Amino acid sequence: MRIFNLDNDFNVVCNWQETRNGFKHVASLHKNGLSVYDTKICYLNRTWERFEYESILLKVINDYFDNKEKLVLYLEVINKFINIK
């Protein structure tokens, strides 16, 4: 499990699970500690992400946030995670 803090209000809890044909990444978006959105992405083999959970983080941000400012802000935060690794 890995937690990505987007700001003081939002964080994303990511995890992976085995499936019959491969594995999946699951994510839960939390606002002030309460889950507000859940999603998953299934994979049949290895992913080639720049960092672990990149695709599921992008999916959470793009699916949940309608506000253009918030969308851009959180995408910038996710891009900073790429430079940390």
Residue range 1-49, pLDDT digits in tens: 999 999 999 999 999 999 998 899 999 999 999 999 999 999 887 667 7
Query: CA-based angle 77:81:62, to the nearest 5?
Result: 50
- CA distance from start to end of the chain: 17
In this prediction the pTM is: 0.86
Q: Assess contact for 10 and 2: CB atoms under 8 A.
A: no
